[in-house]
Amino acid sequence: MSIWQKLVTVVKGHATQTGQAIVDANAITILDQEIRDADSELRKSKDSLASLMAKQIVASEKITGKKDKLTEYGNYIQQALAKGDDALAKDVAAKFAEIEGSIADEQKVVDDYTQNINSLKKLVSQTEMRLKQLRTKVDTVKAKEHVIRASSAIADAHAGSDSKMRTALESFERLQNSQAERVARIDAASQLAKEDGGDDLENRLKKAGIVAGSVSVDDVLARFKKP
């Protein structure tokens, strides 16, 4: 594979990942639109079903009318035969046969309408049920998404408060350390001042018995009593 082909493959890969990320981020919006599209198609199916049912009704009514006409011509045949007019009876019988054949043909059409209507009713019913189930699932997903977002917001806020708390504790510790350091500096400065004034050295000499303390009254009297 050439460098150019590899670059094209990389671009396609990034485009696919970006596209998938966009789809995932807008999954609920896409689902809502798909449900609206499905609902629109379902309404069209219902319109088609209503149209078929109307045509079936018209065709059935035509058959009913022709059956009534068939009964009428049957009576004419009987009357013609009763009067011995076979020729007239034969002509009426021809018309009877024509109507009977027309009824048979139109009955097939009505049967086709009935079969298609029943099939379409079943499909519409199944689609409505699936669409209802899908809406329920989408509502559940939406509710879950709201819970996830709320939980995420709480988690982020908690993480932020933890971070602020840690920062406050760190500041408090730094302040304590600073104060301790300042107190230690004051103590050290005081110690150095004592050492510079000789007080510490004199105290150490007195404790060692090398330098006498203040002169006592007995010492003074002893000096005057000497001959």
Token readout for 95 is 């018309």
Model confidence over 120-174: pLDDT tens digits? Answer: 999 889 988 988 888 888 888 878 877 877 777 776 666 655 666 677 677 767 7
- Expressed as residue numbers, the domain containing 114 is 3-188
Given a contact cutoff of 8 angstroms between Cβ atoms, the answer to whether 26 and 143 are in contact is no
Token readout for 173 is 């510790």
Q: How far apart are CA 184 and CA 178, in angstroms?
A: 10
- Closest by CA to 124, choosing from 47, 31, 32, is 47
Number of structural domains, the chain? 1
CATH number, residue 170: 1.10.287
Structural domain contains residue 213: no
Structural domain contains residue 100: yes
**Is the pTM value of this prediction over 0.85?**
no
- Closest by CA to 121, choosing from 36, 40, 52, is 52
